[in-house]
Amino acid sequence: MATANTPEFNQVLYKPLAEIDPEVKNIIDKETWRQFTGLELIASENLTSQAAMEANGSILTNKYSEGLPGARYYGGNEYIDELEVLCRKRALQAFNLDPAKWGVNVQPYSGSTANFAALTALIQPQDRLMGLGLPDGGHLTHGYYTAKKKMTASSIYFQSFPYGISPDSNLIDYDGLASQAKIFKPKLIICGASAYPRDWDYARLKQIAEKEGAYLMADIAHTSGLIAAGELNNAFDYCDVVTTTTHKTLRGPRAGLIFFRTDLENAKDLEKRVNEAVFPACQGGPHNNTIAAIATALLQVSQPSWRAYAKQVIANAKALGEALVAKGYKLQTNGTDNHLVLWDLRPIGLTGSKVEKVCDLMGITINKNAVSGDSSAQVPGGIRLGTSALTSRNMKEDDIRVVAEFLHRAVQLSLLLQKEAGTKLLKDFVRVATTPEEGKEGYSKVKELRDEVRAFASKWPLPGVDVSTLKQPEGLVAH
């Protein structure tokens, strides 16, 4: 609290956000309301815990601690050291790793920076790497370029070459990867994806990497929570380095982790390279408030209840997939092994953008996504749906079937809107969805469905928020 002696220039330090900055407070309130009244189906998102948010919003944000525990550039780090050592221990425990065989760096700010640091540690500038192509479900940070341009640091500073999924099965084309790797001779093969509904054959990947003398790195950003629970194949059994985000299925704050083997030849060297790649090569001072939040999220992952959560996420994704297939829709690979499904909208003549837009209007958050064989990356033919966040709001299979019904109606409504728009243009589509017009019923159907979605979504709790006292804030965007 400010005292009588607090100078005027410091009085702001003691005032709550609502008082000092109602504008930002109102934006947070609107976003809280959106999360409460909507259905979050973006596969990369989740709802972190009250504890993680508390740690993330803590006073630890004040401290500089460049370096590693016991070897910092600044003083006053005795508790930060304790925190980082605890976080590392919990990271190994969460994934059931032997501390004699694995180490971890918990400082990466996010998944992308974790990946770039891992590449910096493992290979030299302009060395060759292979990752799953972006249109096949891979991530930008695994190397992405177009005919005109190298798009991401992983293709600007390294020579990247994509492998893909097989056009028939839509599963990873391991044979294709093996023969491409034989020619391309990568120093590093990256596995892991952002939009791949099936599990990975890490043993096969290891075999391919070994044959070419390449490192094998898994980026388990999307699936780490499910791998920690033992519900998917274990990337750690075969990979040299494993990176992950902490905010997707792992349900922590926004950050990244890099795990590295410590039992290989030159292990000390690898450990040193990873740590030095994170700092000073790619980052500055660690975000200690985030590291505290990661630690508390990882504690939750180590509890027996975590497995039940992960199982429910997968059961929900399967239920969602089955409900859509039962309605006659097409899913890439016809279903899922993990937390996400890829819905191919091309057979019914819709684009991902249109369905994303309609869903947005009714508070169902999803994203357009390329599906196998899309001719244009600009007009993705599908959408990606994930169940991590809805499972964090307590939903089970029966509830997910209600969500599937909403999605079915949203898609049918998109067909009607497309017809009423009169053209295939997105702007005409959006116009008929958002403005009443004589003789057209799409607009009022959007409103009707939106009200139903809101009523359903508002029945569920939202972690970190007391929804019983939540009031609708001012200034919401009217759809």
Ligand X SMILES: *Cc1c(COP(=O)(O)O)cnc(C)c1O
Collapsing DSSP states into helix, strand and coil, what is residue 406?
helix
Cβ 348 to ligand X shortest distance, Å: 27
For residue 103, give every residue at least 6 positions away whose Cβ sits within 8 Å of its Cβ, in sequence order, or none: 88, 259, 260, 262, 271, 274
Q: How do beta strands 102-105 and 256-261 pair?
A: antiparallel
Catalytic residue among 21, 25, 34, 64: 64
Q: At what angle do helices 426-434 and 442-457 cross, to 10 degrees?
A: 70
Q: Is 351 a catalytic residue?
A: no
The dihedral through the CA atoms of 372, 373, 376, 381 has a sign that is negative
Task: By CB under 6 A, tell whether 192 contacts ligand X.
Answer: yes
Neighbours of 404 (CB within 10 A): 21
Contact 225, 251 (CB under 8 A): yes
How many binding residues for ligand X (CB under 6 A)?
A: 14
Which helix (H) or strand (E) segment is 291 a member of? Answer: helix 288-302
User: Of 136, 219, 322, 420, which residue is the catalytic one?
Assistant: 219
**β-bridge partners, 361:** none
- Name the residue among 397, 263, 95, 184 with its Cα closest to residue 176: 184
**Shortest CA distance to 347 belongs to which of 258, 410, 411?**
411
Nearer to ligand X, 72 or 248 (CB): 248
Q: Is 111 in the site for ligand X (CB under 6 A)?
A: yes
Let me know if 251 is a catalytic residue: no
Member of 29, 40, 136, 219 binding ligand X (CB under 6 A): 219
Task: Pick the catalytic residue from 248, 261, 384, 445.
Answer: 248
Binding mask 32-71 for ligand X (x = CB under 6 A): ------------x---------------------------
CB of 443 to ligand X, least distance (A): 35
Is residue 90 part of the annotated active site? The answer reads no
* Shortest spacing between CB 294 and ligand X, in angstroms: 12
**CB-wise, 112 or 159, nearer to ligand X?**
112
- 312 interacts with ligand X by CB under 6 A: no
Which candidate in 245, 249, 336, 351 is catalytic?
245
Active site residue 399: no
Tell the smallest beta-carbon distance from residue 46 to ligand X (Å): 12
Indicate which single residue of 32, 110, 166, 458 sits in contact with ligand X (rule: CB under 6 A). 110
> Does residue 374 have an active-site annotation?
no
Query: Per CB under 6 A, which region of 166-174, 216-224, 424-432, 464-472 contacts ligand X?
Result: 216-224
447 catalytically annotated: no
Question: Least distance to ligand X from the beta carbon of 217, Å?
Answer: 11
- Rule CB under 6 A: choose which of 88, 128, 139, 198 binds ligand X: 139
Q: Cβ 153 to ligand X, closest distance in Å?
A: 12
The vertex-33 CA angle with 30 and 36, nearest 5°, equals 155
Nearer residue to ligand X within complex by CB, 39 or 132: 132
How far apart, in Å, are the Cα atoms of 1 and each of 4, 19, 86, 189, 401? Answer: 10, 14, 31, 54, 50
Among 130, 153, 191, 221, contact with ligand X (rule: CB under 6 A): 221
d(CA 462, CA 47): 8
| Spatial separation of the C-alpha atoms in residues 370 and 384, rounded to whole Å | 9
H or E, element range at 71: strand 71-72
Q: Interacting stretch for ligand X, rule CB under 6 A, among 10-18, 219-227, 314-322, 459-467?
A: 219-227
Nearer to ligand X, 255 or 449 (CB): 255
Give the residues across from 257 on adjacent strands: 244
- Catalytically active residues are 64, 66, 219, 245, 248, 254
Residues that bind ligand X (CB under 6 A): 44, 110-112, 115, 139, 141, 192-194, 219, 221-222, 245
